[in-house]
């Protein structure tokens, strides 16, 4: 009876532990991303990229985000974030980075900080390339910037490239300092992070066909006298 009882206890423990592990994995805080918002809250205007011709996080709008691409997400456990969007004046941005929660904030507002690398392509006023934006300021009291709002389910971000120079930004016609004010709407939680968009099936078939043609041509050359 003792051995049978111990076996039952062991089986119950293993079953319970497995259940807890499954529950934790399935309830991971991985949020889908549904929209990039446009508006103003307090002194915080979003979503936009601007120069820094005056104050550190202020200036004239130089690029305006338009439509969020499908497949964006934020993992609040690991900080992993990835999304992309088009720009109103043409061009696109692909973004990924690390955005962690911190002890700032209260109630529905939780502070966030980290970095997001954004690859610009075809923009009107920002040269093509990879830009690393830092989001490290404390929560902006009137707009909730650099925070996660669990009630409205969005992230507000307020940062720059970390190279602000009041005397040099925008001097000689060169845009060297860029600010980013973003508000990203979050949607349903996901069981796992979405994979990067794969090459379309047609593209894979085309590459396979081209590979076959190259192989056939090489074989024909070997057979020729």
pLDDT in tens, 52-75: 876 666 788 999 999 999 999 999
203, pLDDT greater than 90: no
What confidence score (pLDDT) does residue 41 get? 82
What confidence score (pLDDT) does residue 28 get? 42
Contacts 24+ apart (CB under 8 A), 49-52: 49/126, 49/178, 49/179, 49/180, 49/181, 50/178, 50/179, 50/181, 51/169, 51/170, 51/175, 51/177, 51/178, 51/179, 52/160, 52/164, 52/169, 52/170, 52/177, 52/178, 52/179
Is 220 part of a structural domain of the chain? no
Is 118 part of a structural domain of the chain? yes
175, pLDDT greater than 50: yes
Write down the pTM of the prediction: 0.73
Most confident of 64-68, 99-103, 189-193: 64-68
Mean pLDDT of 126-144: 81
**Can you give the residue range of the structural domain that contains 97?**
29-194
CA atoms within 13 A on the CB side of 145: 26
Is 215 part of a structural domain of the chain? no
Provide the greatest CA pair distance for the chain: 88
Is 206 part of a structural domain of the chain? no
What confidence score (pLDDT) does residue 187 get? 96
122, pLDDT greater than 50: yes
Domains identified in the chain, total number: 1
Q: The dihedral of CA 75, 78, 84, 85: what is its sign? A: positive
What confidence score (pLDDT) does residue 92 get? 98
Is 169 part of a structural domain of the chain? yes
Is 75 part of a structural domain of the chain? yes
| Residue 145 DSSP code | B
What confidence score (pLDDT) does residue 58 get? 74
Is 63 part of a structural domain of the chain? yes
Is 61 part of a structural domain of the chain? yes
């Amino acid at each position: 009876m003792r051995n049978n009882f111990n076996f039952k206890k062991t089986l119950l423990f293993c079953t319970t532990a497995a259940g807890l592990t499954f529950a934790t994995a399935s309830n991971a805080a991985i949020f889908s991303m549904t929209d990039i918002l446009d508006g103003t809250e307090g002194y915080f205007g979003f979503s936009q990229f601007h120069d820094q011709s005056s104050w550190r996080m202020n200036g004239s709008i130089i690029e305006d985000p338009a439509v969020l691409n499908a497949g964006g997400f934020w993992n609040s456990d690991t900080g992993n974030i990835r999304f992309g969007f088009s720009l109103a004046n043409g061009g696109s941005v692909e973004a990924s980075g690390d955005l962690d929660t911190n002890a700032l904030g209260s109630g529905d507002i939780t502070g966030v900080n980290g970095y997001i690398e954004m690859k610009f392509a075809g923009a009107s006023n920002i040269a093509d390339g990879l830009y690393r934006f830092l989001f490290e300021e404390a929560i902006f009291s009137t707009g909730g910037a650099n925070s996660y709002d669990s009630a409205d389910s969005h992230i507000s971000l307020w940062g720059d490239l970390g190279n602000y120079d009041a005397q040099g930004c925008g001097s000689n016609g060169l845009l060297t300092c860029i600010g980013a004010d973003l508000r990203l709407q979050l949607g349903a939680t996901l069981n796992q992070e979405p994979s990067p968009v794969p090459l379309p099936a047609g593209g894979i078939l085309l590459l396979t066909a081209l590979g076959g043609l190259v192989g056939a041509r090489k074989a024909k050359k070997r057979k020729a006298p």
